[in-house]
Amino acid sequence: MTDATLRTRPEPVPELACPIAPVVDIVFSRWTTPILWALHTYGRQRFVELERRLATITPKVLTQRLRQLERDGLVLRTYHAEVPPRVEYEITELGGSLAPLFATLAEWAADRLPEVDRARADYDAREQGPGRRA
């Protein structure tokens, strides 16, 4: 292939290679799934409640994720003009529509993660075996 051919080749479109890639980008980032799961399972919550439920998340990251989820239409933020002000988050109908997907993944995890653990152990044992080089 020549340099000219490489320059004129159209850029690949990830959605064509994998039509679920945009969904994975939206839903399965590091903290998005646990946030959506918590809001779906426990209902409307204040920031501090979410922060406690997701014990290892930092306030900065939780704020960023909630803003992105609100932007994507998956979470609704409600501001109550009280003293002190109160902000609550809840999953939207669009976010709730992911519940069957999460239920399927939870079922898959319960059924299949032991197989994944065994496969990893088998792989690691082979990789550690005699004559194996990196």
Owner of token pair 């993660």: 113
Band of pLDDT at residue 131, cut at 50, 70 and 90: low
Distance CA 51, CA 59 (A): 7
Contacts of 101 (CB under 8 A, 6+ apart): 27
Residue in 119, 125, 109, 35 with CA at minimum distance from that of residue 74:
35
Average pLDDT, the chain: 88
Mean pLDDT of 99-122: 94
Ordered by where they begin, the domains of the chain are 16-97 (1.10.10.10)
Per-residue confidence (pLDDT) for residue 60, from 0 to 100: 96
